[in-house]
Amino acid sequence: MAVSVDTVYQRVLGILNKEQRGYVTAQEFNLFANQAQLDIFEDYFYQYNYQLMKENARASGIGLADLTRGYEEAIDIFSEQNFLVPVYANGTAQTLTLPSASASYSVPTTPTTGSDYYLINKVLLLTKYLVVQSTNTLSLVAVNTMKDSALNFSTIGVKPSDVVVNKTTSKVASVLFVDQTDTSLLYLDADIFSATGDSYCILSLSNGVNDCEKVTNRKITQLNMSNLTKPTELFPAYSNNNTVIQVYPQDLQVGVNEGQTSLGRILCQYIRYPKDPKWTYASLVGGTPAFNPSSPLYQDFELPLDDEPSLVNKILQYAGMSIRETEIAQFGQVLDTTDNQNEK
């Protein structure tokens, strides 16, 4: 269960009012709350590394005292796995027009994958096509389905989590299951087919998935100079240029003229940034903002409940600096320091 933004807001205001040290507006609170959450989020990685060193020194706890596991679970809240969107010559994500293809992909961002990445764990290349080129023959029996009367999906080995790419609309979905009474019918996790005649392909997520090695731009230049060291589809590599992930070999789209595509080929596992907390209000009641959780902008913290005291302490520090009350800032800092010492 995540920390309630309203609970933290009320506690911060309660402490400030009790001490009669000033007032923080909703806008200021949201700014402080966002920074406080980022501070704690980034500290997870430092603390996780610190606990790993203690484990290696045989100085860590086990069972309920296993802090490493606790930090792993906290970080896992922000773990994502999404297919990357190809980027073309003009540097923007476009609808793929065969036979063109690309080995360049946009890094995970809110517009392309739904969230901005903090760090990338793995980049995976899918190489095995179960269906290279075929056509959807189902007009629309139900949402999140597709049908190909010419194929038996069970026979060709389609399994749950395999990747279906609608090459007509450039949409990607994962297989939920093959219909047991009609094996030419697939159920998907997204509605990517809306008309008969859309061209598609299917890639396996259980076979032919290769881990791309991360390399620097200088190293990839050296690797590509020799046929013995340059990346292959069996041993691929990638470089990250902040906005674009370049996958090697760059000719990984070989066979695109036969129906292969860049879409759905690169799967990225990454840690995303937490969503910005937003304490929203509808109107002022007697000069005081009234909490409005129905607002589309409303967002709780994404941190676990046990981080609530740290959030309050850090926000008090920022609030104290903002209203130039050193005692409030010091009060929050002392509490925060005490919490950190207890964790260690």
CATH number, domain of 159, equals 2.40.30
Statement to judge: residues 148 and 197 lie in one domain: yes
Give the whole-angstrom CA distance, residue 338 versus residue 332: 10
Domain final residue pick, 224, 249, 272: 272
- 256: confidence class by pLDDT, cuts 50, 70, 90: very low
Least confident of 10-24, 69-83, 87-101: 87-101
Q: Is the pLDDT assigned to residue 254 strictly greater than 50? A: no
Say what the pLDDT of residue 177 is: 95
Q: Is the pLDDT assigned to residue 25 strictly greater than 90? A: no
Q: What is the pTM of this model?
A: 0.81
Say what the pLDDT of residue 43 is: 94
Say what the pLDDT of residue 160 is: 95
For residues 325 and 17, the model is more confident at 17
Statement to judge: residues 218 and 83 lie in one domain: yes
Total domain count, the chain? 3
Closest to 32 (Cα-Cα) out of 275, 324, 334, 320: 320
Q: How would you classify the pairing of strands 213-214 and 237-240? A: parallel
% of the chain at pLDDT higher than 70: 81
Please, how many CA atoms are within 13 Å of residue 75, restricted to the half-sphere of its CB?
Answer: 21
Statement to judge: residues 162 and 176 lie in one domain: yes
Statement to judge: residues 212 and 154 lie in one domain: no
DSSP characters over 158-221: --TT-EEEETTTTEEEEEEEE-SS-TTEEEESS----STT-EEEEE-SSSSEEEPEE--HHHHH
Closest to 174 (Cα-Cα) out of 204, 199, 137, 142: 204
Statement to judge: residues 217 and 199 lie in one domain: no
Q: Is the pLDDT assigned to residue 94 strictly greater than 50? A: no
Terminal C-alpha separation, the chain = 24
Q: Is the pLDDT assigned to residue 151 strictly greater than 80? A: yes
Instruction: Give the amino acid at 239.
Output: S
Statement to judge: residues 167 and 199 lie in one domain: yes
DSSP characters over 131-157: EEEEE---S-SSTTEEE-TT--TTTTT
Range of the domain at 174: 129-203
Statement to judge: residues 217 and 162 lie in one domain: no
Contact 273, 115 (CB under 8 A): yes
Statement to judge: residues 145 and 167 lie in one domain: yes
Statement to judge: residues 194 and 213 lie in one domain: no
Long-range contact pairs involving 178-181 (C-beta distance under 8 Å, separation at least 24): 178/153, 178/154
Question: Mean pLDDT throughout 20-30?
Answer: 80
Token pair for residue 79?
A: 């773990």
Say what the pLDDT of residue 194 is: 78
Statement to judge: residues 197 and 226 lie in one domain: no
Domain final residue pick, 228, 253, 272: 272
Statement to judge: residues 88 and 149 lie in one domain: no
Statement to judge: residues 251 and 116 lie in one domain: yes
